[in-house]
Amino acid sequence: MSRRGNYYDNAVAESFSSSLKKERIKRRIYKDRAVAPADISDYIEHFYNPIRRHSYLGGVSSDQFEAAAKRP
- Summarize pLDDT for 22-40 with one digit per residue, the tens: 888 888 888 889 999 999 8
- pLDDT value of residue 37: 92
As beta bridge partners, residue 53 has 61
The rounded percent of the chain whose pLDDT value lies above 70 is 89
Q: How confident is the model at residue 15 (pLDDT cuts 50, 70, 90)?
A: confident
What is the value of pTM for the model shown?
0.61
Tell me what the mean pLDDT of segment 15-27 comes to.
Answer: 86
C-alpha 5/C-alpha 2 separation (Å) is 9
pLDDT of residue 3: 66
